């Protein structure tokens, strides 16, 4: 049996998520499911819920790695819930669990996940026009090591297609 690829979608939490970021994340989730790739998220609201909903409605597999120890706190679209009880330290687990990462908007928590994936040399794509760290980091490296360039993309379809291409390398 071959391991399925896993793409992590990160971004705004429920409190900060605007309609544009929600809609973009929903489309990203749909595209991931259409590609028969496992969607991994932090399992809560905002961008995480939107991507989960999109993937679930497309028949995809959704994994939520949540910071709480109670699986009931996950969004309702998660097929598999991993309750960590670790708070924000779970951001390292989500980053390490993915093969590639897509950023939609995002704040400080998303920055932690992006930095962890960057340190591991994982492909990171940022959807431009969604605000937050996605717009700030697109086209940049996080430090002088130049481990992996955060690729700016314009659409959910482009983000998933480029992620898949990078995973095949």
The model's pLDDT over 1-10, given as tens digits with 9 standing for 90+, comes to: 688 999 999 9
**pLDDT tens digits, one per residue of 90-147:** 999 999 999 999 999 999 999 999 999 999 999 999 999 999 999 999 999 999 999 9
| pLDDT given at position 1 | 63
Quick: pLDDT tens for 117-132: 999 999 999 999 999 9
Sheet (strand 38-41) strand order: 80-83, 62-66, 38-41, 6-11, 100-104, 124-127, 151-153
6-167 has which fold? Answer: Rossmann fold (3.40.50)
Report residue 30: phi and psi, to 5°.
Answer: -60, -45
Q: How many whole angstroms from its chain centre is CA 47?
A: 8
**Residue % of the chain over a pLDDT of 90:** 97
pLDDT, average across residues 8-32: 97
Residue extents of the structural domains in the chain: 6-167
């Amino acid at each position: 049996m071959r391991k399925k690829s896993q793409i992590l979608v990160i971004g705004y939490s429920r409190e900060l998520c605007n309609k544009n970021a929600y809609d973009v994340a929903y489309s990203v989730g749909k595209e991931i499911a259409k590609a028969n790739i496992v969607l991994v998220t932090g399992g809560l609201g905002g961008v995480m819920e939107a991507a989960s909903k999109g993937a679930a409605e497309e028949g995809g597999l959704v994994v939520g790695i949540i910071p709480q120890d109670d699986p009931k706190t996950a969004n309702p679209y998660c097929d598999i819930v991993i309750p960590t009880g670790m708070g924000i330290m779970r951001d390292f687990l989500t980053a390490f669990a993915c093969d590639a990462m897509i950023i939609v908007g995002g704040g400080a928590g998303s920055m932690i996940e992006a930095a962890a994936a960057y340190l591991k040399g994982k492909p990171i794509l940022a959807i431009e026009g969604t605000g937050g760290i996605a717009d700030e980091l697109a086209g940049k490296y996080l430090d002088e090591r130049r481990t992996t360039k955060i690729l700016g993309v314009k659409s959910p379809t482009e983000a998933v297609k480029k992620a898949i291409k990078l995973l095949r390398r």
